[in-house]
């Protein structure tokens, strides 16, 4: 056995007499089958379940995952090339969870495993042609990718120091420091002494310093200091919720709960107590939060509370940082892992509790590639680990609340805010017939008053950019994306019109591109326009904006939030990014510029989404000592999603929403699956959508299935990124029957490569 520089374990045996071990390998390709490979005896001790192996695959080389040892293989099998890991990347228990996920979401196991592991670690081969010195071209396979372990040189003072060598100034101080303190990494010496690599190298060569290369972690929170906090005394409802959780944790059986607590009711404090309890028992905690809510503020609350290792996983990290955080979890160096959706696959062992904060949030659903829902998988993993699962929200999903009422989830209720703080007062402003005004007089007045009183304001609008579309007053031409079936949004600062789906853009025209009339008008408004108008209205106010355009780049997000926290921002304009989870005690006014954008989407969840969004943004007001006020401008003041949110009436909203779901046969009264076909040629996609429907109905008859097959229809977003889209919707009273039909269909349905078929089990995005 030899260990190559890249960490590959390669076979060194020439001839091997005994018959080889056979392993089952999953490869990260869209294939439903797994493959058998032979392992040479010299590699046999290393090719355990959970390690990656480099295997020949057709003409290529690929990284695969060992998922089992098999006794015998009926087929002729090829040999693996190398073992890529010295320790398994996943345990047998984790594999069981990944298998379950692959089965439930009908996605190939190899791809599921790949998306559960940190990105960028796999080795694959690429073919390229190389010129030989004699000019001849040869084709060869080159290996790319691989591990990303970061190393750093650590220095210590040599013992004894070399005779006769005399050092002065900086070098003398460095050697003295290391003599007194032992070993230190090069980065620390650079920070403390301004020692660059050349100085250290010279001192090493002269024999003053000894160097060792060591593996280091990239820590995204390295610079910060965390002061221990003092936990508050729980109020009655918190204590009662905690009592039930503590009992469940003690029982060490699967125990799922819905923690329904109004905004500002201290849900996070309940999570922290439950986690402390779990840690005391030597178990670990997995905490899922929506990507947007995964702010430094939240992480700080955890770091200030717990002395154990905490890992943070989110998309703001570099691949390297993610890989390091992942390895800290794998090695058992942390007891708490906090992350966005994909953290549900974190390699945490001995899990005692899984928290899903803001369980209603749509970002738990991955809607591309491997289409899983981390909120749902939390219950599955919790069951496998016999853990306590806490689904927390002020606005639980209708389906969650229904499950809680049916006794499938334990119910924990926090009906009021902490410290007896009142809920904000809410006023609905009817914006009908006043569509051209960004601020109705009441909102403008409230803004002025709040500013004068020194309070902070959040202004919410769920649309970024300046204007929603450009229309020609003469010929009626509207600027549309050539690749997608939507209009282009005008972004003033960049002077261009953008597609929010595919990022296509054109410079802002000065005349109509169709008839050359100069009479072009910009309609609708986005956050950019609101920011400009509020600045015009209150030139003395310190105004900031937070949406996907302003928060690109590392820490952009955090800077704005810090500004609100520290009081250096008076008015923050933003999209749903400002609605979620933040705890800003200085915010006394929340203005909803328009609450209707989500209401009119052709999606059965549009009412629920609107209710959640409005309730969440309202919940940012009055979390400090001063009471909060909310003003909501809307074109639909009588819609139950808006009026119930304004009345802080979850129960009332739930009752109405449940009734409409019952009538239309949507969850919780049915399980859904969506099948989407897409391709570049509209008629071809349509034809195959018809074929899919025919096959589904045929399989349905064969299976005597009662699953309802609806469609095919063109998708509400009929074209995205140049691909035309058709949809079928399956509705079923039971999960098993739905899966049987999908499996039967999937096994038989074959389209030409130009048509792509996606199956989405429990779809969240219906567009
Ligand atoms: P939620 O997650 O329900 O919106 P948080 O957990 O963020 O609410 O709590 C809001 C604020 O109240 C936080 O600053 C938190 O530290 C504080 N808090 C929580 N529980 C208590 C309590 N029992 N007494 C006093 N303050 C509390
Ligand atoms: Zn025109
Ligand atoms: Zn587009």
Q: What is the pLDDT of residues 583-604, one digit of tens each?
A: 899 999 999 999 887 888 889 9
Q: Identify which ligand lies nearest to the alpha carbon of 471.
A: 2
pLDDT digits (tens, 9 = 90+) for 723-745: 999 999 999 999 999 999 999 99
Distance between CA atoms of residues 596 and 672, nearest Å: 26
Q: Which residues contact 303 (CB under 8 A, 6 or more apart)?
A: 221, 224, 226, 310
* CA 499 to centroid of ligand 3, rounded, Å: 5
Q: For residue 417, how far is its CA from the centre of ligand 1 (angstroms)?
A: 8
For residues 547-562, give the mean pLDDT.
77
Token pair 């154990």 is found at 308
Q: Residue whose CA is closest, atom 12 of ligand 1?
A: 266
Q: What is the 3-state secondary structure (H, E, C) of 606-639?
A: HHHHHHHHHHHHHCCCCCCCCCCEEEEEECCCCC
Query: pLDDT tens for residues 674-699?
Result: 999 999 999 999 999 999 999 999 99
Terminal alpha carbon distance of the chain: 54
Q: Under a CB-based contact definition with an 8 Å cutoff, are residues 102 and 380 in contact? A: no
Residue nearest to atom 20 of ligand 1 (CA): 266
- The burial of 428, by beta-carbon neighbours within 10 Å (0-12 exposed, 13-18 middle, 19 or more buried), is given as buried
Mean pLDDT over residues 307-334, rounded? Answer: 89
| Phi, psi dihedrals of residue 414, rounded to the nearest 5° | -115, 95
| The two domains 2-125 and 236-419 share their CATH topology (first three levels equal) | no
Are the C-beta atoms of 483 and 721 separated by less than 8 Å?
yes
* Mean pLDDT within 227-232: 88
CATH class of 425-466+525-662: alpha beta
Q: Give residue limits of the domains in the chain.
A: 2-125, 150-216, 236-419, 425-466+525-662, 671-761
> Ligand 1: which of 229, 266, 392 to mutate, judged by most atoms within 8 Å of the beta carbon?
266
Q: Is the pLDDT of residue 470 over 60?
A: yes
| Helices assigned H by DSSP within 619-734 | 640-646, 650-664, 682-702
Name the residue of 265, 269, 359, 413 to mutate for ligand 1: max ligand atoms within 8 A of Cβ. 269
What is the share, in percent, of the chain residues with pLDDT greater than 90?
69
Q: Give the span between the Cα atoms of 275 and 269, in whole angstroms.
A: 10
What confidence tens digit (pLDDT) does each residue in 13-29 have?
Answer: 444 456 678 999 999 99
pLDDT band at 76 (very low <50, low <70, confident <90, very high): confident
Q: Is the pLDDT of residue 6 over 50?
A: no
> CATH for 671-761?
3.30.70.600
Return the structure tokens found at 103: 């089965």
State the CB neighbour count (10 A cutoff) for residue 539.
8
Q: What is the pLDDT of residue 318?
A: 82
Residues 6+ apart with CB under 8 A from 655: none
Considering the domain 236-419, what is its CATH architecture? 3-Layer(aba) Sandwich (3.40)
What pLDDT, in 10s, does the model give residues 187-219? 888 888 888 888 899 999 988 999 988 888 876
Taking the CA of residue 235 as reference, the ligand 1 atom at the shortest distance is 23
Residue 4's pLDDT band, with cuts at 50, 70 and 90, is: very low
State which of 230, 241, 268 you would mutate to test the pocket of ligand 1, scoring each by most atoms of that ligand within 8 A of its C-beta: 268
pLDDT of residue 414: 98
Q: 2-125, what's its fold?
A: GIY-YIG endonuclease (3.40.1440)
CATH of domain 150-216: 1.10.10.10
Confidence band for 70, pLDDT divided at 50, 70 and 90: confident
Please classify residue 16 by burial: count the beta carbons closer than 10 Å to its beta carbon, then call 0-12 exposed, 13-18 middle and 19+ buried.
middle
């Amino acid at each position: 056995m030899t260990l190559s520089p890249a960490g590959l374990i390669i076979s060194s045996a020439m001839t091997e007499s005994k018959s080889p071990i056979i392993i089952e390998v999953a490869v990260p390709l869209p294939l439903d089958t797994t493959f058998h490979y032979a392992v040479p005896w010299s590699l046999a001790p290393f090719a355990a379940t959970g390690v990656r192996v480099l295997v020949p695959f057709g003409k290529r080389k690929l990284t695969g995952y060992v998922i089992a040892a098999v006794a015998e293989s009926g087929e002729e099998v090829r040999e693996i090339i190398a073992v890529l890991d010295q320790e398994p990347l996943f345990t047998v228990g984790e594999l069981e969870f990944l298998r379950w996920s692959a089965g439930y979401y009908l996605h190939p196991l190899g791809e599921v495993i790949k998306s559960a592991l940190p990105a960028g670690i796999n080795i694959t081969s690429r073919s390229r042609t190389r010129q030989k010195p004699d000019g001849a071209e040869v084709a060869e396979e080159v290996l790319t990718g691989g591990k990303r372990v970061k190393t750093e040189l650590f220095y210590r003072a040599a013992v004894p120091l070399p005779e006769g060598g005399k050092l002065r100034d900086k070098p003398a101080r460095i050697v003295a420091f290391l003599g007194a303190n032992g070993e230190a990494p090069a980065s620390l010496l650079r920070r403390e002494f301004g020692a660059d690599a050349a100085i250290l190298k010279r001192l090493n060569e002269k024999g003053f310093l000894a160097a060792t290369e060591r593996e280091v972690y990239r820590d995204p929170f390295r610079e910060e200091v965390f002061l221990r906090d003092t936990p508050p005394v729980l109020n009655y409802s918190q204590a009662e919720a905690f009592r039930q959780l503590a009992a469940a944790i003690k029982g060490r059986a699967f125990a799922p709960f819905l923690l329904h607590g109004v905004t500002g009711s201290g849900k996070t404090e309940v999570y922290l107590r439950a986690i402390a309890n779990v840690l005391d028992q030597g178990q670990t905690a997995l905490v899922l939060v929506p990507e947007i809510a995964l702010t430094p503020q939240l992480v700080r609350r955890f770091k200030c509370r717990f002395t154990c290792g905490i890992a943070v996983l989110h998309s703001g990290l570099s691949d390297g940082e993610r890989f390091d955080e992942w390895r800290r979890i794998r090695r058992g160096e942390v007891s708490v892992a906090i992350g966005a959706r994909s953290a549900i696959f974190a390699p945490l062992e001995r899990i005692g509790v899984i928290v899903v904060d803001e369980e209603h949030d749509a970002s738990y659903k991955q809607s591309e590639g491997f289409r899983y829902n981390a909120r749902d998988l939390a219950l599955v993993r919790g069951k496998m680990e016999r853990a306590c699962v806490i689904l927390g929200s002020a606005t639980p999903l209708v389906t969650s609340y229904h499950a809680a009422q049916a006794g499938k989830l334990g119910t924990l209720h926090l009906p009021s805010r902490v410290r007896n703080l009142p809920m904000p007062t809410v006023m609905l402003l009817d914006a009908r017939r006043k569509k051209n005004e960004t601020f109705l007089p009441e909102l403008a007045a409230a803004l002025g008053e709040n500013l004068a009183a020194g309070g902070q304001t959040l202004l919410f609008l769920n649309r970024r950019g300046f204007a929603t579309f450009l229309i020609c007053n003469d010929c009626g031409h509207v600027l549309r994306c050539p690749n997608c079936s939507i209009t282009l949004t005008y972004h003033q600062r960049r002077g261009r019109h953008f597609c929010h789906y595919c990022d296509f853009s054109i410079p802002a025209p000065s005349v109509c591109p169709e008839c050359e009339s100069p009479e072009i008008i910009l309609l609708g408004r986005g956050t950019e326009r609101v920011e400009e108008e509020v600045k015009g209205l209150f030139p003395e106010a310190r105004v900031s904006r937070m949406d996907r355009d302003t928060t690109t780049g590392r820490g952009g997000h955090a800077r704005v939030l810090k500004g609100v926290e520290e009081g250096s921002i008076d008015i923050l304009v933003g999209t749903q990014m400002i609605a979620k989870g933040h705890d800003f005690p200085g915010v006394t006014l929340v203005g909803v510029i328009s609450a209707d954008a989500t209401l009119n989407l052709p999606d059965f969840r549009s009412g629920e989404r609107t209710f959640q969004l409005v309730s969440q943004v309202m919940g940012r007001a009055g979390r400090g000592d001063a009471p909060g006020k909310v003003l909501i401008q809307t074109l639909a003041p009588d819609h139950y999603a808006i009026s119930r949110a304004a009345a802080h009436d979850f129960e009332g909203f739930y009752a109405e929403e449940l009734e409409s779901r019952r009538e239309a046969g949507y969850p919780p009264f049915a399980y859904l699956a969506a099948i989407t076909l897409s391709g570049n040629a509209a008629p071809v996609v349509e034809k195959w959508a018809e074929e899919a429907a025919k096959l589904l109905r045929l399989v349905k008859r064969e299976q005597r299935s009662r699953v309802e097959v609806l469609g095919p229809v063109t998708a509400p977003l009929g074209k995205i990124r140049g691909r035309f889209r058709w949809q079928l919707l399956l509705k079923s009273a039971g999960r098993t029957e739905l899966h049987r039909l999908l499996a039967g269909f999937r096994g038989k349905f074959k389209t030409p490569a130009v048509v792509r078929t996606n199956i989405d089990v429990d779809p969240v995005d219906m567009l």
